[in-house]
């Protein structure tokens, strides 16, 4: 059975935690409805709604045991069936201060309940489980009718932070003497999160290759690299991991970067995909990531990642550099980093991705020239000017936002940083979610909703 992840928004997590722990030291129960989909390497559950247990729904209840009414299970099934969803079973060990562990009684009860629920729902879906202690949580997924189970990671997405409950401690860890100074700055929890995350990097040019190198040196262990392009000589001045010997090899960028990262740390997992992010199979691979870095210079592929972020609850850090020269030859422009995801404004809310530019990118050269002449579409720039100092700065700004998000607790958190190359000022941009934006209609839809510009 594949590994599994459960992703829940912060408000829903607070509600279900309150239901599970209650005010007494007796065990409590609740159910969540959830959308689910199968990514390349895991099952992913997206929490939807909590169905609380009422006092009369308990047949027996104590500190170590509980039993609920079949009528409660029937109510849960009706809601899940109406939504076309699966179910996450939730209960608590309120006496547990450390990470809670499932008991033998839990195993027997959940095996029976998960099979019953799966059998009653269309397509016999997998069933999730959450177990709360006072400070920690554990999770697992039951395969449905086969009674197989696998531990699951839990990701809770708040507006300003990401909280993780990781199922396995047997992953490769970076020797602490190698990251000692970083742990002193960020703390053990953040370091553990960095090492446990599956990180997607889409676009492996000047910004993407810099993001990759910095992340592997921070302790990142699991990467999905996406870029369809091969190395060109003009990449050499910005692409980390290249040498003069790279010229003429015509290697794929994903090969170059993967080899470079593995040379830095041979213990990492690195999946390379030399295809466009506009392909559905690539989106499936990326949907299993815990965070994605978007290092692209076109609007259409960034729009797809924007949709993936909200539909699959994956934070995306989008970075970009725009250079310009004035009449006197002076260099200007801006460097930007933006983090998006549920609870945050999307790239469309902020006009970073613009529909008219997506249209322009899909036009034939003749159609583009005609519409450009009539000023219906913006200008598309090929072979835009670029300097490694600026692409590296863009990646570093993106990583600063990423670190803020995983460490949490920054009262001055912003989702958008802009460095003005003319004034040399760093501007902290505060934007709002547009209530009429499509991102709000895509929340938690997973692959139920098609991606608007993917094949």
64-68: long-range contacts (C-beta < 8 A, 24 or more apart)?
Answer: 64/27, 65/27, 65/105, 66/26, 66/27, 66/28, 66/29, 66/91, 68/29
pLDDT digits (tens, 9 = 90+) for 62-95: 777 778 899 999 999 999 999 999 999 999 998 8
Question: Average pLDDT, stretch 282-286?
Answer: 95
Beta strand ranges found along 107-204 (DSSP E): 127-132, 137-142, 149-157, 162-165, 198-202
In this structure, are residues 172 and 357 in contact, taking their beta carbons and an 8 Å threshold?
no
Count of residues in the chain: 455
Averaging pLDDT over each range in 323-337, 376-390, 419-433, which range is the top one? 419-433
pLDDT above 60 for 44: yes
CA distance 402 to 407: 9
Question: Average pLDDT, stretch 413-432?
Answer: 92
pLDDT above 60 for 170: no
How many CB atoms sit inside 10 A of residue 107's CB? 13
pLDDT at 345: 96
Query: Which two structure tokens, joined as six digits, stand for 190?
Result: 């953040």
In this structure, are residues 273 and 225 in contact, taking their beta carbons and an 8 Å threshold?
yes
Question: Average pLDDT, stretch 176-197?
Answer: 94
pLDDT digits (tens, 9 = 90+) for 286-299: 999 999 999 999 99
pLDDT at 433: 93
CA distance 37 to 126: 10
Mean pLDDT for the chain overall: 92
More confident call, 171 vs 167: 167
CA distance 225 to 253: 9
Q: Where are the domains of the chain?
A: 3-157, 180-440
Please enumerate in sequence order all residues whose Cβ is within 8 A of that of 417, keeping only pairs 6 or more positions apart, or say none. 336, 337, 338, 397, 400, 401, 426, 427, 428, 429
Query: Which two structure tokens, joined as six digits, stand for 442?
Result: 């895509």
Residue 268: its H or E element: none
pTM of the model: 0.94
Place of tokens 């939807």: 48
In this structure, are residues 90 and 33 in contact, taking their beta carbons and an 8 Å threshold?
no
**Segment among 177-186, 332-341, 358-367 with least mean pLDDT:** 358-367
pLDDT above 80 for 417: yes
More confident call, 345 vs 379: 345
Q: pLDDT tier at 27 (50, 70, 90 boundaries)?
A: confident
Query: Which two structure tokens, joined as six digits, stand for 245?
Result: 């010997």
User: 180-440 has which CATH code?
Assistant: 3.40.50.720
Q: pLDDT tier at 16 (50, 70, 90 boundaries)?
A: very high
pLDDT at 169: 56
* Domain 3-157 identical in fold to domain 180-440: no
CA distance 150 to 43: 10
* Angle in degrees, 0-180, between the axes of helices 388-407 and 206-218, rounded to the nearest 10: 40
Side by side, the strands of the sheet bearing 269-273 are: 269-273, 222-226, 198-202, 291-294, 316-325, 331-340, 416-420, 425-429
According to CATH, the topology of domain 3-157 is Cytidine Deaminase; domain 2 (3.40.140)
Place of tokens 């945050």: 344
pLDDT at 2: 83
Burial 348-382 (b: 16+ CB within 10 A, else e): bbbebbeeebbbbbebeeeebeeeeeeeebeeeee
Strands 316-325 and 3-9, by their bridges, are unpaired
pLDDT at 444: 96
């Amino acid at each position: 059975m594949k590994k599994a992840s459960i992703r829940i928004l912060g408000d829903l997590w607070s509600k279900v935690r309150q239901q599970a722990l209650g005010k007494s030291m007796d065990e409590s129960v609740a159910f969540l409805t959830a959308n689910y989909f199968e990514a390349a390497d895991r099952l992913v559950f997206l929490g939807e709604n909590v169905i609380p247990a009422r006092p009369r729904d308990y047949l027996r209840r104590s500190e170590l045991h509980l039993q609920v009414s079949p009528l409660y299970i029937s109510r849960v099934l009706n809601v899940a069936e109406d939504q076309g969803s699966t179910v996450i079973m939730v209960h608590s060990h309120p006496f547990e201060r450390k990470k809670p562990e499932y008991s033998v009684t839990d195993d027997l009860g959940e095996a029976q309940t998960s099979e019953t629920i799966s059998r009653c729902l269309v397509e016999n879906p997998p069933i999730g489980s959450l177990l709360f202690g006072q400070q920690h949580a554990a999770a697992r997924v039951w395969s449905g009718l086969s009674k197989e189970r696998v531990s699951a990671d839990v990701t809770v997405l708040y507006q300003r932070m990401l909280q993780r409950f990781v199922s396995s401690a047997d992953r490769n860890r970076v020797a602490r003497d190698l990251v000692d100074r970083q742990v002193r700055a960020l703390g053990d929890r953040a370091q553990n999160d960095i090492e446990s995350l599956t990180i997607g990097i889409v676009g492996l040019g000047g910004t993407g290759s810099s993001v990759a190198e910095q992340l592997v040196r921070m302790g990142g262990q699991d990467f999905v690299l996406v870029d369809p392009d091969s190395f060109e000589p003009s990449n050499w001045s910005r692409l980390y991991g290249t040498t003069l010997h790279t010229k003429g090899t015509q290697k794929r960028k994903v090969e170059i970067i993967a080899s470079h990262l593995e040379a830095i740390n041979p213990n990492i997992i690195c999946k390379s995909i030399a295809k466009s992010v506009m392909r559905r199979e690539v989106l499936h691979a990326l949907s299993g990531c815990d965070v994605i870095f978007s290092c692209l210079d076109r609007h259409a592929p960034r729009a797809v990642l924007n949709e993936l972020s909200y539909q699959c609850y994956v934070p995306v850090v989008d970075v970009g550099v725009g250079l310009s020269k004035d009449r006197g030859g002076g260099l200007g422009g801006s460097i930007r980093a933006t983090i998006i995801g549920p609870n945050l404004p999307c790239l469309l809310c902020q006009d970073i991705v613009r529909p008219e530019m997506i249209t322009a990118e899909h036009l034939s050269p003749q159609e583009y020239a005609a519409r450009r002449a009539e000023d219906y579409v913006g200008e598309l720039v090929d072979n835009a000017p670029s300097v490694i100092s600026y692409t590296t700065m863009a990646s570093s700004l993106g990583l600063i936002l990423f670190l803020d998000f995983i460490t949490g607790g920054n009262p001055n958190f912003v989702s958008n940083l802009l460095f003005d190359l003319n004034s040399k000022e760093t501007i902290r941009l505060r934007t709002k979610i547009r209530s009429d934006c499509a991102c709000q209609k895509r929340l938690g839809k997973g692959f139920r909703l098609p991606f608007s510009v993917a094949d």
